[in-house]
Structure 1
Amino acid sequence: MIDISKVNQRYGGTQILWDLDLAIKPGSCTCIMGRNGVGKTTLLKCLMGLLPIESGEILLEGEALHTKPAQFRAPAGIGYVPQGRDIFPTLTVEENLRIGLPIRKDKAKQIPEKIFELFPVLKEMLHRRGGDLSGGQQQQLAIGRALVIEPKVLILDEPNEGIQPNIVQQIGDVILKLNQEEGLTVILVEQKLGFARRVGKEFRLMEKGRVVASDQMANLSEDLIKQYLAV
């Protein structure tokens, strides 16, 4: 579904990604893991068109993404929840969710009821400003906003950062439901090993701007954790 080949990226004179290869299969839930500073968020930003790549290619279902501007991603079927959420704090929950409606292929005028089934708190707070929500509620809003477009792929960058445990549990439940019951392809950057093991089907370990290990999540060994994840 997504094929990233020989991608190089640099900030000024510092190279962040080095001939990076990554393949994401349809219907998978892939956790991209690694210590801080190995290039995980940079990889996602390159995939989303928020950072240019120096060389290589990024394909979605065989179609080049790396040659297209960032605004092409949502119509192409990619929902993105960035680190820090990036909701619109002065807009209401309803207004935040409605932003994705024009991108839907069915041109629906109403927020899908499914969003409120997944995150009931959003319906309760529909008319509150996004900036007045708690961190956990804002994360639910950010994920809900990404789901409004009915994506083929959902990309989440550390969705549990700074979130209370009960919301972490709920987010995990939602990811499992979307992936296992509905077949949504999920790409997840995650630092919490327990959460990654709970929701992920596969892992990709990064070190110094490269993917250095790939396998089924069940095969994430203690040796790999010690070598690439332990602080």
Structure 2
Amino acid sequence: MLAVTGLNQYYGESHTLWDLDVEFPEGKCSVIMGRNGVGKTTLLNCVMGLLPLKSGVINFNGTDLVKLSAEQRAPQGIGYVPQGRQIFPMLTVEENLRIGLPVRKDKAKQIPGFIYELFPVLKEMLGRRGGDLSGGQQQQLAIGRALVIDPKLLILDEPTEGIQPNVVQEIGDVIRKLNQEMGLTVLLVEQKLPFARRVGDRFCIMDRGRVVAQDEIENLNENLIKTYLTV
């Protein structure tokens, strides 16, 4: 589904990603983990074309994304929910959701009904401005907006950050349903270990710009946690 090979990235003179090789298989929920500042969000931004690369290949279903602009990547079938959600605060919930419709290959004109089934609160608040929603509601809106494009891969950067516990539970339920019942491939960055264990099939641990471990989530042992994840 998504394979990254020989990826190097710099911020100015700082080498941030080092010869990074990692694969995220189709149909799985993969969790990228690691302490703050190890390159997790940088990796996602490289996948989405938001940061330039020094070298490397990012292969998505046979297409090298590096050759495509950022605007050309979503139409390949990638839904992206960035850290901090980045909804449009002055647009209504409905307007935020409709932004993804032109990307759909079937040229649908209506927001898919299943999004309201996943997030009933969005249907109740269609006319409300995005900036007036709570943090948890904005996260649900951001995920719904990403799903509107009918993605094959959903990428989430810290979906539980700053969210109240009951909404974290709901978001976890949605991720599991999308992955396990609807067959959507999911890739997320996540700091909360219990959440990662609950929703993930596989883990990828990063440290200092490198992938240091990747395996099935049940093999995430205490030694790895102590070495790379505890603060």
TM-score category, normalised to shorter length:
over 0.9
* Match of residue 130 from structure 1: 130
3-state SS of 1:85 partner: coil
* Match of residue 207 from structure 1: 207
1:34 is aligned to 2:46 = no
CA distance in 1, matches of 2:190, 2:72: 25
Per-residue CA distance 1:162-200 (angstroms, 9 max, x = gap): 000000000000000000011100001000000000000
CA distance in 2, matches of 1:153, 1:167: 22
CA distance in 2, matches of 1:163, 1:3: 30
Shift in Å at residue 155 of structure 1?
0.2
* Match of residue 170 from structure 1: 170
* Match of residue 9 from structure 2: 9
* Match of residue 151 from structure 2: 151
Shift in Å at residue 102 of structure 1?
1.1
Per-residue CA distance 1:85-126 (angstroms, 9 max, x = gap): 000000000000000111111111111110000000000000
CA distance in 2, matches of 1:53, 1:102: 28
CA distance in 1, matches of 2:147, 2:61: 20
Letter in structure 2 aligned against 1:118? L
Shift in Å at residue 70 of structure 1?
0.3
CA distance in 1, matches of 2:57, 2:179: 26
1:79 is aligned to 2:69 = no
Shift in Å at residue 216 of structure 1?
0.3
Give the TM-score, by structure 2 length: 0.99
CA distance in 2, matches of 1:150, 1:62: 19
Structure 2: gaps spanning 5 or more residues: none
Shift in Å at residue 74 of structure 1?
1.1
- Identity of paired residues, percent? 71
* Match of residue 50 from structure 1: 50
**Equivalences for residues 51-70 of structure 1 within 5 A:** 51-70=51-70
CA distance in 1, matches of 2:108, 2:86: 24
Where in structure 1 do 4 or more consecutive aligned residues deviate above 3 Å? none
Structure 1: gaps spanning 5 or more residues: none
Per-residue CA distance 1:186-227 (angstroms, 9 max, x = gap): 001000000000000000000110110011000100000000
CA distance in 1, matches of 2:51, 2:23: 19
Shift in Å at residue 145 of structure 1?
0.1
CA distance in 2, matches of 1:55, 1:102: 31
3-state SS of 2:114 partner: helix
Per-residue CA distance 1:102-159 (angstroms, 9 max, x = gap): 1111111111110000000000000000000000000000000000011000000001
3-state SS of 2:191 partner: coil
Give the TM-score, by structure 1 length: 0.99
3-state SS of 1:198 partner: helix
Letter in structure 2 aligned against 1:85? R
CA distance in 2, matches of 1:29, 1:12: 33
Letter in structure 2 aligned against 1:36? N
* Match of residue 88 from structure 1: 88
The RMSD of aligned alpha carbons is 0.5
3-state SS of 2:67 partner: coil
State the aligned residue count.
231
Shift in Å at residue 79 of structure 1?
0.1
1:180 is aligned to 2:170 = no
Shift in Å at residue 62 of structure 1?
1.6
